[in-house]
Structure 1
Amino acid sequence: MKLYDLSVYWESNSFAEPWPPKVEFSNSAEEAVKLADKLDIHPSDFQDGLALAVENVSAQVFTHIGTHCDAPIHFGPVTEGKPSRTIDELPLEEFYGNGVILDMRHKEPRSGITVEDVQKALADMDYIIKPRDIVLIMTGFDKHIYTESYLRDQPGMTGEATEWLIDQGVKLMGIDTYTFDRPFGAMVADVKAGNKSALFPAHFIGRKKEYYHIEKLANLDKVPVKHGFIFSAFPIKVKGGTAGSVRAVAIVE
């Protein structure tokens, strides 16, 4: 059995996040001084004069940083006529199951991944989607995470392709890009050209039919098989949260 890490780093990388986290590290010696002051003791009271190293992380948008899962409440307040579920309300069983990787590395920058694209990828590997399969979209854009292209040029899922997968019984999907939809600039350009439905069509399908998706996956190309493996990505338990960070892993026997 081999495990493949499919997550990106939490780091201060402005290429990867419009609002990047600020990560400040404090080593054991620095923390000895800080903690000693709080506890009214001397830094030398710690063994070897060293306390516990920590880091402080601050961000404008916490739960949507790094590899994370968007919950239905992120898409809108109502899903299928009922209050949308939050990240802590989603069953853990949905985050461990059969993984399927669809290769979309041929897609043009800023383009939409269509139903036909999805069906062709499945046909090419002679695979039929089963209910509760976890479908992962491989664009290869994780390789651009330290360049301006990462936020600007990624392809993204269309609403129609997302809905088609939901109709096959898929509840959890994922993609190796910043957002599940096309990049912000591409959507905004279409809206300004008169297409009012261009904003977040893949996200907003979640108002009509419940599903969840993981954004900012990585290393899908490292997984040696396109199906027949286990995908695991349990979200952190943010009470009432719109999203939760995950450590995504492919498990190959």
Structure 2
Amino acid sequence: MSEFRAHFDARVTFANGGGLTAEGFRLDLPTGAESSEEVGRLFVRHLGLAMVDSVTIDGLAIVEEPHKGSRGIEKPAAEAPGRIVDLSHIIHEGLITYPGLPAPVVTPFLTREDSRAKYAAGTEFAMDVITMIGNTGTYLDSPFHRYGDGADLAGLDLATLVDLPAEVFHLTDLATRGIPVGVFLDREVRGRAVLLHTGWDRHFGTPEYLHGAPFLEPAAVEYLVEQGVTLVGIDSLNIDDTESGGERPAHTGLLAAGIHVVEHLTRLGDLPAHGARFTAAPPAVRGFGTFPVRAFATIPGIPN
């Protein structure tokens, strides 16, 4: 395959003062069809120049000759693209996430029509107000949700919310509502996001979602706390049994240990048991314990 190099003179000015000139410079090219602007960018990259204001290329000639090893044109190793799986329910006006809690209400603050009088011709914007409870859609519980002296949303460490190694437990064939401790014993879960795929998300938005939902048994909560997991997520109505009379052992134990809880996930069945990375980061709101997240998982590609 033919290789090409550029021969040229160059003048560089820097945004913080000074300049650089080069005469008769020669540079490897990726294709041989580069414009003078592209040659200028390759020149800057090859020399590792910072704070460049302008690059002028004069006397450009592109000739066929073997490469000499210029920096910045190396072709990266081919890699299959990774995949991103959205694990969040869509929030919309009127959405009932948890029966008995209010649905979101969206109110215009500035309509596109009204904005036309405020901006230049052809420029318009919409600004809206959403009123909703923090327990809407797919959301994360911080310790403050359960404990008045616990970390609120603004106090959470992003390292415990972003790009976590995920262990996904596929439990759709479980014979009981309660998720027992035994399902976790064959895996290393320390420092992981433990995601519980029950399949209950198929009922989301329907009356069936409220009754008979899977939950995490107290012994399993104790085990996950002892093992030092970072986060526990579930695709069910609640990580606790809401039909037990008000006890909330999962929220109590997990949040006391600083383990985040994400509820109302979806599409966990699209994830492998191992290898995915999980992210669920809420906004940093001071004095607030629960808020919707755009939860998602990344599944890495396989190098070719």
TM-score calculated relative to the size of structure 1: 0.76
The residue number in structure 2 matching 1:32 is 113
Query: Structure 2 regions of 5+ residues with no counterpart?
Result: 1-81
CA distance in 1, matches of 2:147, 2:109: 42
- Does the aligned pair in 2 maintain the 1:87–1:237 contact within 8 Å? yes
Give me the identity figure in percent.
25
The residue number in structure 2 matching 1:161 is 220
- Does the aligned pair in 1 maintain the 2:167–2:189 contact within 8 Å? no
**Residue 52 to residue 108, structure 1, CA distance change in 2 (3 Å):** farther
**Residue 25 to residue 85, structure 1, CA distance change in 2 (3 Å):** closer
Match for 2:257 among 190, 193, 209? 209
**Residue 26 to residue 203, structure 1, CA distance change in 2 (3 Å):** same
CA distance in 1, matches of 2:175, 2:128: 39
Q: State the AA in 1 paired with 2:137.
A: G
The residue number in structure 1 matching 2:22 is none
**Residue 232 to residue 136, structure 1, CA distance change in 2 (3 Å):** same
The residue number in structure 1 matching 2:156 is 90
SS for the counterpart of 1:160 is helix
CA distance in 2, matches of 1:10, 1:162: 29
SS for the counterpart of 1:228 is coil
Instruction: Report the alpha carbon displacement of residue 240 of structure 1 after superposing the two structures with TM.
Output: 2.1
**Which runs of 4 or more aligned residues in structure 1 lie more than 4 Å from their structure 2 counterparts after TM superposition?**
25-28
The residue number in structure 2 matching 1:80 is none
The residue number in structure 2 matching 1:39 is none
CA distance in 1, matches of 2:153, 2:296: 19
Counterparts of 1:149-188 in structure 2, within 5 Å, are 149-182=208-241, 184=242, 186-188=243-245
The residue number in structure 2 matching 1:141 is 200
Instruction: Report the alpha carbon displacement of residue 151 of structure 1 after superposing the two structures with TM.
Output: 2.1
Q: Relative contact order: is structure 1 or structure 2 higher (C-alpha 8 Å, sep ≥ 6)?
A: 1
Q: Which protein has the larger Cα radius of gyration, Structure 1 or Structure 2?
A: 2
1:51 aligns with 2:133: no
Match for 2:247 among 192, 199, 202? 199
Instruction: Report the alpha carbon displacement of residue 249 of structure 1 after superposing the two structures with TM.
Output: 1.1
Structure 1 residues 65-111: Cα deviation after superposition (integer angstroms, max 9, x where no partner):
1111101121223xxxxx321121111101121011111212457x2
TM-score calculated relative to the size of structure 2: 0.64
**Residue 17 to residue 52, structure 1, CA distance change in 2 (3 Å):** farther
CA distance in 2, matches of 1:84, 1:55: 32
Match for 1:235 among 282, 285, 289? 282
CA distance in 2, matches of 1:75, 1:151: 22
Aligned-CA RMSD value: 2.5
Where is the helix percentage greater, Structure 1 or Structure 2?
1
SS for the counterpart of 1:93 is helix
- Does the aligned pair in 2 maintain the 1:175–1:217 contact within 8 Å? yes
